[in-house]
């Protein structure tokens, strides 16, 4: 499904006729809304009529107007600094050159993903699967089939790979003949990309460390005193932060000591996980977990 301004206009015209026939007691039609998941960050798109939409992203609403596109449906802001471009059930959202991860319409799977499992080892790509049914359950489920008609069931729930310990966004169950195989599916990066996290602990609001994961394996953050930026590695075998560039502001002695410990632990991280409350847990080598709660992006 994609956002189509002409379709919106047609719907509004039909609604107007229906209201005329029904009389003045009818309630006005509510604007249509769509939720997209851009990596770990949701956005809401609302049809505002007259070929315009509102995009709500991290507490800020942007008014965008339809414009020409080679494919799909494209909207831009009046100053050309914000863009939303939908194609099928996927979209991109770009604000002042900062693009969120690929956005997936709520209730849909990414067009490209891999499902895999261990003991015995198996793997299927989305190109080998056809969607048969979307189940409106909580959490959401999808039933797919491979080329031989074997069923693959995906569930939108965190999944931990039994060998690597890596987290994935979907649980997978593959019914291959008499075998019932389990595994994980999707891209681990979508659990982090576009998200913002604050360190749990005894900090004031002004000194609480913050991590922001970008869409291109970039990471930025705040140590409690200084800002930093860099990147991280994420593969089935590796999760680690690369050396970080940090500003050189001086703060109180205790704050600087906490900053030093936080940066040292970040550079020793070798795995991530989530607890039962959805908090991000970073696992430094030989040290206590760093536990972080999801938060909104800090305002510039």
Q: Looking at residue 235, what is its pLDDT?
A: 83
* Same-domain pairing of 137 and 160: yes
Q: Which residues contact 300 (CB under 8 A, 6 or more apart)?
A: none
For 276, the token pair is 């039962």
**Structural domain count of the chain:** 3
Q: Looking at residue 299, what is its pLDDT?
A: 56
Q: Looking at residue 16, what is its pLDDT?
A: 39
Give the max Cα distance, the chain.
Answer: 73
Q: What stretches in the chain show pLDDT beneath 50?
A: 1-24
Q: Looking at residue 286, what is its pLDDT?
A: 84
d(CA 177, CA 184): 19
Range of the domain at 291: 192-295
Q: Looking at residue 27, what is its pLDDT?
A: 65
Q: Looking at residue 31, what is its pLDDT?
A: 85
pLDDT digits (tens, 9 = 90+) for 239-264: 999 999 999 999 999 999 999 999 99
* Same-domain pairing of 90 and 181: no
* Same-domain pairing of 183 and 211: no
Report yes or no on 134 lying in a domain: yes
Q: Report the predicted TM-score, pTM, of the whole model to 2 decimal places.
A: 0.83
Q: Looking at residue 2, what is its pLDDT?
A: 41
Q: Looking at residue 28, what is its pLDDT?
A: 63
Report yes or no on 300 lying in a domain: no
pLDDT digits (tens, 9 = 90+) for 39-81: 999 999 999 988 999 999 988 999 999 999 989 999 999 999 9
């Amino acid at each position: 499904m994609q956002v189509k301004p002409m379709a919106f206009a047609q719907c509004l015209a039909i609604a107007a006729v229906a209201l005329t026939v029904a009389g003045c007691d009818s309630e006005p039609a509510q604007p249509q809304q769509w939720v997209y998941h851009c990596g770990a960050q949701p956005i809401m798109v609302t049809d505002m009529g007259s070929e315009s939409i509102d995009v709500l992203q991290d507490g800020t609403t942007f008014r965008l107007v339809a414009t020409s596109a080679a494919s799909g449906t494209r909207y831009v802001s009046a100053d050309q600094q914000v863009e939303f471009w939908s194609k099928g059930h996927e979209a991109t959202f770009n604000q002042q050159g900062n693009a969120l991860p690929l956005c997936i319409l709520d209730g849909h799977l990414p067009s490209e993903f891999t499902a895999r499992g261990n003991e015995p080892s198996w793997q299927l790509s989305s190109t080998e699967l056809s969607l048969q049914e979307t189940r409106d359950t909580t959490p959401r489920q999808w039933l797919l089939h491979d080329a031989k008609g074997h069923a693959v069931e995906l569930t939108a729930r965190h999944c931990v790979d039994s060998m690597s310990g890596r987290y994935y966004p979907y649980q997978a169950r593959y019914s291959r003949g008499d075998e019932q195989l389990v595994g994980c599916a999707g891209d681990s990066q979508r659990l982090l990309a576009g998200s913002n996290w604050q360190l749990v602990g005894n900090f004031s609001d002004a000194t609480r460390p913050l991590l922001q994961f970008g869409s291109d394996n970039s990471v930025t953050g705040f140590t409690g005193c200084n800002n930093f930026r860099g990147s991280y590695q994420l593969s089935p075998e590796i999760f680690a932060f690369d050396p970080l560039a940090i500003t050189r502001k001086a703060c109180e002695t205790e704050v600087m000591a906490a900053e030093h410990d936080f940066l040292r632990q970040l550079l020793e991280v070798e795995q991530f996980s989530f607890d039962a409350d959805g908090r991000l847990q970073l696992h430094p080598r030989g040290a206590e977990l760093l536990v972080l709660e999801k938060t909104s992006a800090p305002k510039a």
